[in-house]
Chains A and B, each alone.
Chain A
Amino acid sequence: MIPAADVRIGDRLRTRLGAELTVTRIDPGFMDREGMLAFVEDSDEQWLKMPARLGADVELVRRPGTGT
């Protein structure tokens, strides 16, 4: 798990329901709710969106260039 604020483009994340996405874009807001952001994979493979609270942790599956 890592803080949502530390997620980078290229990180592979897993949602609570088990779907996975490789972040290609980080949206600074989510449905006009304060303190939220959204991670999006917009690729040839899939389009998937995962919102998160800035202070929350998210499940990191893999980070490019690391052993994670």
Chain B
Amino acid sequence: MALPWDLSGIDGGPLERELLDGKTVLVVNVASRCGLTPQYEGLERLQRRYGGDRFTVLGVPCNQFAGQEPGTPEEIQEFCSATYGTTFPMTGKLEVNGRRRHPLYAWLTATPDADGRAGEVEWNFEKFLVTPAGEVTARFRPPVEPEDQRVTAAIERSLK
């Protein structure tokens, strides 16, 4: 996934392009204090199952859903690694909806979900699958678990 925008990593420095370029990327807005936060486990299993030169999960911390990601970048990073052992890259906090949303999300949210609905991210842990060519091929709403067959099938189609 080659992007025309620079992204910051959770550590505050630029997110290294090699982490995304040439890969299928599952972009997920995440939060540490949400009922869906255990989805980190499934996301990390996806990373271990498919991750490498051709696939990665990309976590995007966002505090726009009931303020459920209130921590500092250091706190978020510590929470993810200590609680869920995450190894996939994370951006700095981004806004995914509204007038100040990051251009990445202006682009992603133009893609409809399986019911044909595009537009705003509904809640934490919404998932977008982007091919190495930069095509958004699938959008999964928050209740769809990371290891749901629909997600893994879309990843495997992109990796073929």
Contact = CB atoms under 8 A, between A and B. Distances in A.
A17 B98 contact: no
For the complex, would chain A's binding face be called helix, strand, loop or mixed by DSSP majority?
loop
A42 B123 CA distance: 15
For the complex, would chain B's binding face be called helix, strand, loop or mixed by DSSP majority?
loop
Contact of A17 (B64, B66, B99, B122): B66
A31 B143 contact: yes
A42 B97 CA distance: 9
Interface residues of A, number: 17
A43 B98 CA distance: 8
B88 interface: no
B65 interface: yes
B143 to A, nearest CB: 6
B64 A50 contact: no
A1 interface: no
B115 to A, nearest CB: 10
A46 interface: yes
Interface string A17-61: 111000000000011100000000011101111110000000000
Interface of A: 15-19, 30-32, 42-44, 46-51
